[in-house]
Structures are given as C-alpha cells and as structure tokens.
C-alpha cells in the first residue's frame, strides 16, 4: 500500500492539507478560516482544537481513514536555530511551542502540534521539515557590524531546500556536491548561498535583502533611526510598515506583480520604475550571495510565487547571467510537497530523523 502521509501547513487565514501516497498527492485542499472565527482566540495556540476539527472534517469528506496513515507532518515554525532536515516531533519541541520558547507567535508553530494530535493516538510518527529557523551559517555570516546584534538565519528554508534538490536532479549531481544561489521570490524575498548542501548565508526577509511585494528590505539606517524617534510611530506600527506594508504595496498600493506589469506596459512610468528598482535589488543580492561562494556558482535557482511572472524572471536573468549561464526556475512554493517528501525520506530510510534537543 506504500506510505500514506498527512501533510499540514497552517497559515494566517487558512490551513493547507494534503494526503500523499508515497510521493504523489492523492488529495489537496485549503481550509479557509474566517477572520471572525480567528478573532475569537486570544493566541495562535488557542486555535489548535478549532483547526484540528476542521482537518478531521476534511478527511471525512475525502474518505481517508486516519488509521491508514503512516505519518503526519506539519510545517515547522520559527524555533531556535536548527540544522536542515526532518525532525521527529517530541516532547521537548511540543513544550517549547506551548510555553512560548520560540522566536515568534506564528501560525506555523501549530504545524507540529496538529501533526502530533493526529499521530500520537495512532502510534505513528509526527514530523516537521526544514523550519524557517534552519541555521547553517558559517561564523562570518553571523557578524552584523554591531556586536550587540547578531545576524540570524530565518528564511523560506522549506521551499529553498526542496528546489535545491530539484535543481541538483536537473543538473545531474547531488545537492550536497553543488554550489547554488537560491532566491525565494514571494511576499518576502529570501536569497541564500548554498554550499555543498548547506545554506551558509541568507538575508532575513524581515530585516533586509531586496524590497519585495510587502517588505521593505534593507533601509538607510540613519534615516530609519530618525523615523523611529520622530514620535509619530510606536513599535507595532513600525514593524507592520517594514514587514507587511512596505515594498510594492507601499509605493504602488498593490502587491500583485502581474497586474503591475500590465500597468507598466500600458505606460505607467512610476510602476515601471519601482519594478526596475526591485529587480535591481534582487540582482544585487544574488550577486552578493555569489560572492559568499567566491564566485563558484553551479547555478542560480529562482522560485516562489513571483517566479510565475515571466517578465520579472527574464529581467532578472539579464542582470545576473554573467554569474552563471545556469539559471533554473521552479515557480511557486509547494511547501506541501516539500513536507511530504521530507517525511518520505525518513520513512523509506533515505535519511534519519533529526532529534530536536
């Protein structure tokens, strides 16, 4: 019968669910959670039973018997720094989530809890795969320029690691024998240097890198300080401006890349300028991460939601083709597949499960 894997990816207003038979998705859906429902809960963790019941209802509609499952796997949250891999959900992980020993109160923290809720009564394993806190930095990458502040490894690691393996398969070499620069182009942008299977440097999309559809990326620091101390903004307001209301949204009132390209092609000069600026910043960060690899780059890999827009991709290619002729594109961010394949590698013995300590 093969391995039957339930995959769970909780997000801000939805929970994505998939049922995999080995490497193939038999069912896949998104459970949308109305804002009015979520507002009833004091914290994200309080949503556990609510989301669990919705998942149970979906499985019933699919005709999937939970007793047939081989494993459950959930998205990993902003935990403490972890090496890349598939982790078995254990009591230490659950305790850290429940007691708030995580970097942020984020819906992804529910991934491990939901997987455990389903797996534990069945006596099957629960996993997480490549959480956002995957940290494989070399020492040089941690130095910020200010001793009181250390650069942190927080990125779209789940999707980036998966497309790294896909790129390796396309190039005919193991991921662990390649040097890749991988860019996740989404509402936030993560661009990382992957050396022999390890992401040794990456921009934290909330702190820097290129500006993106919703995030500001790097900002002129002294001007930012002046802005923060103007008395017009509190901490929460500034954080939202930087991480949710910046970038394309701030300049153009939209974070949807394809309609913006249509406006630019129809003659909107402001839209065209801002898009060129974002492309320039993406290219600069790709070149910077190439320098981390001393210019020894086997391929540049572009992924994420914005990678569906061919005009953006072609513009980036023109800017960075001098680094390497191998520029591979894997549009989208199929985190459900990445989670399923991570669990499958452990179930088939290809990899050993990591221990969360």
Q: List, in order, residues 6 or more apart from 182 with CB less than 8 Å away.
A: 160, 163, 164, 167, 191, 192, 194, 199, 300, 301, 303
For residue 221, the number of C-alpha atoms closer than 13 Å in the C-beta half-sphere is 4
Looking at the structure, give the CATH architecture of the domain made up of residues 157-331: 2-Layer Sandwich (3.30)
Q: Is 4-135+335-355's fold the same as 157-331's?
A: yes
Cβ distance 158 to 335 under 8 Å?
yes
Query: Could you give the dihedral angle defined by the CA atoms of residues 63, 67, 73 and 79, in that order, rounded to the nearest 10 degrees?
Result: 120
| Residue 283: closest CA among 297, 268, 300, 265 | 300
**CATH domain 4-135+335-355 topology:** Nucleotidyltransferase; domain 5 (3.30.420)
Ranges of each domain in the chain: 4-135+335-355, 157-331
Rg (CA), the chain: 21
Per-residue pLDDT of the chain (357 residues; tens, 9 = 90+): 699 999 999 988 899 999 999 999 999 999 999 989 998 998 889 999 999 999 999 999 999 999 999 999 999 988 999 999 999 999 999 999 999 999 878 889 999 999 999 999 999 999 999 998 999 999 999 999 999 999 999 899 999 999 999 999 999 999 999 999 999 999 999 999 999 999 999 999 999 999 999 999 999 999 999 999 999 999 999 999 999 899 999 999 999 999 999 999 999 999 999 999 999 999 999 999 999 999 999 999 999 999 999 999 999 999 999 999 999 999 998 899 999 999 999 999 999 999 999
How far separated are the first and last CA of the chain, in Å rounded?
Answer: 33
Tell which residue, 183, 189, 85, 197, has the closest CA to residue 133: 85
Q: Helix 91-98 to helix 110-119 angle, to the nearest 10 degrees?
A: 130
What sign does the CA torsion over 13, 43, 81, 247 have? positive
């Amino acid at each position: 019968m093969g391995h039957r894997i339930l995959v769970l990816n909780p997000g801000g207003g939805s929970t994505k669910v998939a049922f995999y038979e080995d490497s193939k998705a038999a069912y896949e859906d998104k459970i949308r959670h109305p804002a009015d429902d979520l507002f009833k809960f004091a914290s994200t963790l309080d949503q556990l039973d609510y989301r669990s019941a919705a998942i149970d209802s979906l499985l019933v509609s699919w005709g999937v018997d939970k007793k047939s499952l081989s494993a459950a796997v959930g998205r990993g949250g902003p935990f403490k720094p972890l090496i890349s891999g598939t982790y078995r959900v254990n009591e230490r992980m659950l305790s850290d989530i429940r007691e708030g020993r995580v970097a942020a109160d984020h819906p992804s923290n529910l991934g491990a809890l939901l997987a455990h809720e389903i797996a534990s009564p069945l006596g099957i394993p629960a996993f997480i795969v490549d959480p956002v806190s995957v940290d494989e930095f070399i020492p040089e990458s941690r130095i910020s320029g200010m001793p009181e502040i250390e650069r942190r490894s927080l990125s779209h690691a789940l999707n980036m690691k998966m497309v790294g393996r896909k790129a390796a398969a396309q190039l005919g070499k193991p991921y662990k024998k390649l040097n890749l620069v991988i860019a996740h182009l989404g509402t936030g942008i993560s661009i990382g240097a992957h050396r022999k299977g390890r992401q040794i440097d990456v921009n934290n999309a909330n702190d820097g890198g290129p500006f993106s559809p919703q995030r500001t990326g790097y900002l002129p620091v002294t001007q930012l300080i002046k802005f923060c101390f103007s008395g017009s903004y509190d901490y929460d307001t500034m954080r939202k401006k930087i991480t949710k209301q910046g970038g394309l949204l701030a300049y153009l009132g939209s974070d949807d890349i394809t309609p913006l390209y249509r406006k630019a092609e129809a003659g909107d000069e402001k839209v065209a300028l801002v898009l060129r600026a974002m492309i320039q910043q993406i290219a600069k960060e790709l070149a910077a991460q190439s320098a981390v690899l001393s210019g020894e780059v086997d391929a540049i890999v572009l992924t994420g939601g914005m990678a569906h827009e061919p005009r953006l991709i072609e513009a980036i290619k023109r800017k960075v083709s001098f680094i390497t002729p191998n520029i591979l594109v894997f549009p989208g961010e199929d985190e459900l597949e990445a989670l399923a394949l991570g669990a499958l590698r452990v179930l088939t013995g290809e990899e050993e499960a990591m221990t969360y300590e």
